[in-house]
Amino acid sequence: MRSETEAGSEREATLVRLIEQYKPALWRLVSSYEAEPSRREDLFQEIALGLWQAIPRFRGDSSERTWLYRIAHNIAISALDSRRRRERQESPMSSSADYASPTHAADEAVLEDEQRQALFDAIRRLPAVDRQLMVLYLEELSYEEIEQISGLSQSAIATRLSRGRVRLTEAVRGKERRHDSAAR
């Protein structure tokens, strides 16, 4: 029988591997929920804590990737809910536009950065369910995987994704148009 120390080390090694492997994807996911960098860090830690707690429960019934996305999204929803409850009595936070790049610079890199910012802002404004589906789509998961993670049917996923894509494309194009008129 394995000792508790061995199990603990194995669990830690699994967490380190998961974080290393999925760090960029998890960071993008976190950015789709939180605009402010310090909150992203906090949420990232919450997700890592959730994974740490969930590792012993993973039985391989689904792929590691779908399991990880389920946990990450569920923790993000829950953490956001808790934070909003805490902040309800406080003054409203500054909008995500505070973290946007300068709007009047004219070079292409800045435009790309602004568009990316507009994309993340638009994702954060989506209803929670659409946001989760959109993030999974943008991470290039298949419809089967999204179905396994979300529990929604593929037709429902397709409808919501189509609606979400239109909203996101409009947001990015809107930013492009504003950038162009500012440059003129």
Partner 1 sequence: MIPPRDDLQQMWRAGSGGLAGPTAELIHNVQGKMLDFDRTIRWRDLRETAAAVFIAIVFSWFAIRGGAPLERFANIWLAGWGVCIVFFLRRYSQASRKPLPDMTLSAYSHALQERYERQIRLLKNAKYWYVFPFWVGMMLNAVAYLEHHGSIVRFLILSAGVTVFSGAIWWLNESIAAGYIESKRRELLARMENGED
- Residue for token digits 């994702």? 123
Based on the shown chain and the rule CB under 8 A, indicate whether residue 114 belongs to the binding site for partner 1: no
Helix, strand, or coil here: 103?
Answer: coil
The CB-of-10 to partner 1 minimum distance in angstroms stands at 14
Site for partner 1 in 63-102 (CB under 8 A): 67, 70-71, 73-75, 77-78, 80-81, 84-85, 95-96
3-class DSSP assignment, residue 153: coil
As a whole number of angstroms, the distance between CA 39 and CA 184 comes to 36
Residue in 6, 112, 144, 180 binding partner 1, rule: CB under 8 A: 112
Please identify, using beta-carbon distances, which residue of 2 and 24 lies nearer to partner 1.
Answer: 24
Q: Write the CB contacts of 161 (distance below 8 Å, at least 6 apart in sequence).
A: 133, 134, 137
Quick one: which of 39, 64, 65, 139 contacts partner 1 (CB under 8 A)?
139
* Minimum distance of partner 1 from residue 184's CB (angstroms): 23
Distance CA 7, CA 33 (A): 33
Closest CA to 33 of 83, 94, 98: 83
Cβ contacts of residue 37 below 8 Å, gap of 6+? 99
54 binds partner 1 (CB under 8 A): yes
Chain residues in the site for partner 1 (CB under 8 A): 12, 15-16, 19-20, 23-24, 26-28, 30-31, 37, 40-41, 44-45, 48-50, 52-54, 57-58, 67, 70-71, 73-75, 77-78, 80-81, 84-85, 95-96, 112, 115-116, 119-120, 124-132, 137-140, 142, 148-152, 165, 168-169, 172
